[in-house]
Amino acid sequence: MTKPTLYQRKLAAKKQAQKVDAKVRRRASREFNSQVLTLRIKLLDAQDGADATELLACLAVVIGTPCEAGARQFGHTPAWVRQLHGAMRSIMGMCEQGYRWDSAAALALSRAVELAAEERPELDAATFAESWVEANGLSVQILNHSVTPDAIAA
């Protein structure tokens, strides 16, 4: 039996890495979709006027990440970016109103969560990751009740 060449070893390692990557992506996708479903149920079940700090913080990450990534990469031209940005303004409005839930926005925010969860292969992975960090920063501000009116772009 002949010893594998360097090229064959690298090719085998690359194939193995691709298998692992695909498995991780499938697991992450399943988990994310489960979290999205749970979040949508919570936002539709939230009581008008109730404290919504944690819910708003979760929404800021789920909606804010693709919104920021899309805005960085494409500007506000795509309709989906504009819709997500509108949802972020609704979230910010609730923060400014004492972090209280406004049930009038529930269906629109549920749709925004659905839109945010759609696959966006056109988004650059590095931009998406940077946007996720930004969205988590906003989430922390929401949890600390320290959101300022300029926390998201106008």
pLDDT per residue as tens digits for the range 91-130: 999 999 999 999 999 999 999 999 999 988 898 888 988 9
Q: Is the pLDDT of residue 20 over 80?
A: no
Would you say 106 and 94 are in contact if contact means Cβ atoms under 8 Å apart?
Answer: no
Q: Is the pLDDT of residue 11 over 90?
A: no
Average pLDDT, the chain: 90
Q: Is the pLDDT of residue 150 over 90?
A: no
Distance, in Å, from the CA atom of 134 to the CA atom of 152, rounded to the nearest integer, reads 10
Distance, CA of 132 to chain centre: 7
pLDDT per residue as tens digits for the range 27-36: 766 777 787 8
Q: Is the pLDDT of residue 17 over 90?
A: no
Q: What is the pLDDT at residue 46?
A: 96
Mean pLDDT in residue range 78-95: 96
Cα R_g (the chain), whole angstroms: 19
Would you say 79 and 141 are in contact if contact means Cβ atoms under 8 Å apart?
Answer: no
Distance, in Å, from the CA atom of 106 to the CA atom of 42, rounded to the nearest integer, reads 10
3-state secondary structure of 100: strand
Q: What is the pLDDT at residue 154?
A: 58
Q: Which two tokens stand for residue 107?
A: 């269906």
pLDDT per residue as tens digits for the range 47-56: 999 999 999 9
